[in-house]
A and B are shown apart, each in its own frame.
Chain A
């Protein structure tokens, strides 16, 4: 089984996770810019974070044979802090980078006017930089937030097939499917979505425009729940081709719309470290 995790925050994970993921068949990941648990207080902190997403983290991933791309944005929660608003002016520099394959995560957290503004401005940046958009849906008041999300997306002029609306569940999947956007599901140990529930959703709606991710971060989460979902699909009678479509070809198709997805090295597996990828495994310095 080859796996592309289209949403995982590797910055918060250890090399043990990379090793387990590589062994489980994860060959590619996309790491969306998001919040870090501890709120940030200014744009310089974000610049260092973005640098890490396009510098250190892909380097770390490559040492385990995993190809790493990023999405860049000011996330909705921190969009509410006036000290972080200048991050919006930093974005153009980063949205042009080779390994940036979407604008994200954008969308709503508490559904405030500040979030409205940041969401609209960043959808416009997605159009300007010819990038897809990864849209987070709020964990509270999700159904309302999702409906409002789809209205803002429609008004922005971005093509719906270039937008993934994430963290969906049984209640919100239908409206997103009808909108023409991609549907993202975050499989979590306890909250959001579970492998058995995901299988039921796939049975009902089919594999078109479906993205399954672990969204693993600094909270209780598990980077191998993509694999568990693939296994649950097979056990429920889906074919290996269905699994490959959902766990590999769909994310390749979605992020491939950026024209910047470069999966060179994804099939090679974890090679012995060379000079271009060495110091972590060696335990050096």
Chain B
């Protein structure tokens, strides 16, 4: 799991550092400025992948750092608003940032919103470390939705630790449906089912 310090270090390898510094200072001192800097992060800081932080792009890292820079008493409201009015990239950045923000479980409704969508990018971002706040039934359904919508299960944080017997039952039923339809079971789902049933026998 990454941290604001690691994201900041990874961003030092990219241009536009002055804009990033100014925007972070502004977010902490004048939180009302975050609306525009959060939205413009991609245009201002670029969207390249960060070599120092695999799985993160420059705009996502800047957005996560902006959220982390908010004063504690404004964080929950601003984060909720930025997600509510965010485009898909902004929503994804909020979801990815949640585990490193001091908001406790207050971000759970955002996760649930993302899991309700049919956007695979949002679904994947919702199943990071912050998904520990999801109850087990919701988490199982979300994992199964990944299998349905083609999100690789490698995107699911802590999959093997949390996968349980009930998930194995659901995956087995899914495998039966696929077999009946003559359609293949995704390899990563079949492998997970194999691991879960292997443990039992």
Please give the residue numbers on chain A whose beta carbons come within 8 Å of chain B beta carbons, in ascending order: 47, 51, 54-56, 58-59, 93-94, 96-99, 259-260, 273-280, 282, 284-285
Q: Which of B39, B43, B85, B149 contacts A279 (CB 8 A)?
A: B149
Q: What would be 27 A-B contacts, judged by CB atoms less than 8 Å apart?
A: A47-B85, A51-B87, A54-B88, A55-B88, A55-B91, A55-B119, A56-B118, A59-B88, A93-B35, A93-B85, A96-B36, A98-B43, A98-B87, A259-B43, A260-B43, A275-B120, A275-B124, A275-B151, A276-B121, A277-B120, A279-B120, A279-B148, A279-B150, A280-B118, A282-B149, A282-B150, A284-B148
* B152 and A59 contacting across the interface, CB-CB below 8 Å: no
B 39-64 binary contact with A (CB < 8 Å = 1; else 0): 11011000000000000000000000
- The secondary-structure label for the interface of chain A is loop
Interface size on B, residues (CB 8 A): 24
Q: Which residues of B contact A277 (CB under 8 A)?
A: 120
Measured CA separation A259–B155 after assembly (Å)? 33
* B148 and A285 contacting across the interface, CB-CB below 8 Å: yes
CB distance from A256 to the nearest CB of B (A): 14
Q: Which of A47, A55, A97, A274 contacts B39 (CB 8 A)?
A: A97
Beta-carbon contacts under 8 Å, B13-58 to A: 35-36, 39-40, 42-43
CB distance from A176 to the nearest CB of B (A): 31
CB distance from A120 to the nearest CB of B (A): 24
Chain A, residue nearest B147 (CB): A284
* B42 and A275 contacting across the interface, CB-CB below 8 Å: no
Is B145 interfacial (CB 8 A cutoff)?
A: yes
Beta-carbon contacts under 8 Å, B88-124 to A: 88-89, 91, 117-121, 124
* B118 and A279 contacting across the interface, CB-CB below 8 Å: yes
Measured CA separation A28–B145 after assembly (Å)? 30
* A56 and B119 contacting across the interface, CB-CB below 8 Å: yes
Q: Which of A47, A54, A285 contacts B118 (CB 8 A)?
A: A285
* A276 and B148 contacting across the interface, CB-CB below 8 Å: no
CB distance from A17 to the nearest CB of B (A): 18
Q: Which residues of B contact A97 (CB under 8 A)?
A: 39, 87
CB distance from B24 to the nearest CB of A (A): 19
Measured CA separation A51–B39 after assembly (Å)? 14
Given contacts A98-B43, A98-B87, 5 further A-B contacts (CB under 8 A): A51-B87, A55-B88, A55-B91, A97-B39, A276-B120
Chain B, residue nearest A53 (CB): B87
* Known A55-B91, A275-B120; contact A284-B36, beta-carbon cutoff 8 A: no
